[in-house]
Structure 1
Amino acid sequence: MKYIIFDIDGTLTDTTEVDDRCFTRALEDVFGFKGFETNYGHYVNTTDSGIIDQLFQEQHQRTYTDAERESFISHFCNLLKAAYAQEKHCMKEIPKAAQIFNTLCGQEGISIGLATGGWRESALFKLRCAGINLEGCVATSFAQDAKARRDIIGNTIRQMNEQHNIEVPKNDIVYVGDGRWDYEATKQLGIRFIGINNKKLAEISHIVKLDDYDEIHQHLWNQAVPA
């Protein structure tokens, strides 16, 4: 058995721009934050939960409560829905992502999971809008499950091992992502990484980067584990 685990924004769905815009607006509307860093790759944990936790620690010397989290998610999702209603094109698949995802889900000897730094509710909404069907997906993890991306990915791996009643070797696990933080998380976990070619990964030259999802099959199992 081999595991392939996907990120969502920028990996399966072309939603990074609208997600960042609505996330920033929700931080201002719900928590009253002003003048904060909106290049979210600069945060210690580039996840929705990690970013909000860091802002709360910096500005209020505490983390957020469950009630504050739920209020934020509700408003954030409403902003995403309003953006989609106004411009359907803002939430589409990365070209060929749905087809590749469905093909891999039906392939014998392969198990598919999701691990994203976004909230469950917002992630599932964006996937639906982009036409990504999760029927064949074995396990999912979201920002509610952990603040660090490595822990979110690790949670999906644990679920998949429990589902299959095995412990798959790290060399047989691939994470597909689009950010430097994704690559760093795979290094910490000792699993394989495949990147979606974009400017966020431009400075990392020694990894596999996909220009087209049709290329993924040739790269799945013929690469070294991140050093």
Structure 2
Amino acid sequence: MLEISTDWGCYPFVTDRGILKTFIEQQDLKCSLAELESIVKPIFIRNVQQAIEVSPAKEVLGAKNFVSHLLDSDKYVVSIATGGWGETARIKLESAGFNVEKLEITSSNDHFSRIKIMQLAKSKMNQTGDYPITYFGDAEWDLKACEQLAVNIVIVGSRVNHHQRIQNFSCLESALRFVK
């Protein structure tokens, strides 16, 4: 039996597809990324669905109001870039009460690299200009990707230290003051 390490920091691409890609390379498997993904992904999606049925996803305090505020404003363009697969991102967001129909989600379905996912998220919004981007994340790999792309980042929660950090979105003004 083969096991995947859950030490996410040891993977060059900390995304669902990136972890599988690295796993194939490390184990010298004789299957393609697409082949392994077609086996693993449906099982993973089913496992997430079952876990959500037992314990629904919880909104980070104030996040729905924050996202709604951005979506309702003509000052902002909103796009989600996630290292998870799109299907599981939607399951989790819906479980937490978000209206996913209003959200443009770019995910590990689109690429194995977090940086490329972020670049694709921008291009999907038909934004070719050099406008400011603010990324809200919660992990070291978010910091690294934003640093490489020179993107403004706000850390949510306390997993990572960063000079721009909020605990949650309960104070709309506090979150908005970091948006460029």
Q: TM-score, normalised by structure 1?
A: 0.72
Quote the residue 1:193 is aligned against: 153
Quote the residue 2:114 is aligned against: 149
Amino acid at match of 1:217: L
Amino acid at match of 1:211: Q
Contact 1:174 1:191 survives alignment (8 Å)? yes
Quote the residue 2:27 is aligned against: 59
Question: Aligned-pair distance for 1:108?
Answer: 1.5
Question: Aligned-pair distance for 1:87?
Answer: 2.5
**CA distance in structure 2 between the aligned counterparts of 1:146 and 1:96, rounded to whole angstroms:** 30
**CA distance in structure 2 between the aligned counterparts of 1:57 and 1:196, rounded to whole angstroms:** 33
SS of the equivalent of 1:44 reads coil
Amino acid at match of 2:110: D
Contact 2:134 2:152 survives alignment (8 Å)? yes
* Greater shift in the superposed pair: 57-66 or 97-106: 57-66
1:71 to 30, 33, 39: 39
Contact 2:21 2:33 survives alignment (8 Å)? no
**CA distance in structure 2 between the aligned counterparts of 1:134 and 1:150, rounded to whole angstroms:** 23
Contact 1:52 1:64 survives alignment (8 Å)? no
**CA distance in structure 1 between the aligned counterparts of 2:114 and 2:69, rounded to whole angstroms:** 26
Q: TM-score, normalised by structure 2?
A: 0.90
Q: 1:112 to 1:42 in 2, by over 3 A?
A: same
Specify which structure has the bigger relative contact order, considering alpha-carbon pairs within 8 angstroms and separated by 6 or more residues.
Answer: 1
**CA distance in structure 2 between the aligned counterparts of 1:75 and 1:148, rounded to whole angstroms:** 22
User: What is the aligned-residue identity percentage?
Assistant: 23
Note the 1:12-31 alignment, pairs <5 A. Answer: none
Quote the residue 1:125 is aligned against: 91
Superposed CA RMSD in Å reads 1.8
Quote the residue 2:164 is aligned against: 208
Q: 1:65 to 1:191 in 2, by over 3 A?
A: closer
Segments of 5+ residues of structure 1 without an aligned counterpart are 1-31, 222-227
Question: Aligned-pair distance for 1:41?
Answer: 2.7
**CA distance in structure 2 between the aligned counterparts of 1:128 and 1:212, rounded to whole angstroms:** 19
Quote the residue 2:130 is aligned against: 169
Quote the residue 1:104 is aligned against: 70
| 1:218 and 2:177 aligned | yes
Structure 1 runs of 4+ with >6 Å offset: none
Question: Aligned-pair distance for 1:42?
Answer: 2.5
| 1:184 and 2:123 aligned | no
Question: Aligned-pair distance for 1:147?
Answer: 1.2
**CA distance in structure 2 between the aligned counterparts of 1:168 and 1:41, rounded to whole angstroms:** 33
Quote the residue 1:225 is aligned against: none
Contact 2:94 2:100 survives alignment (8 Å)? no
**CA distance in structure 1 between the aligned counterparts of 2:75 and 2:30, rounded to whole angstroms:** 45
2:123 to 158, 161, 172: 158
| 1:33 and 2:6 aligned | no
Contact 1:102 1:136 survives alignment (8 Å)? no
Amino acid at match of 1:182: D
Question: Aligned-pair distance for 1:175?
Answer: 0.9
Q: 1:70 to 1:194 in 2, by over 3 A?
A: same
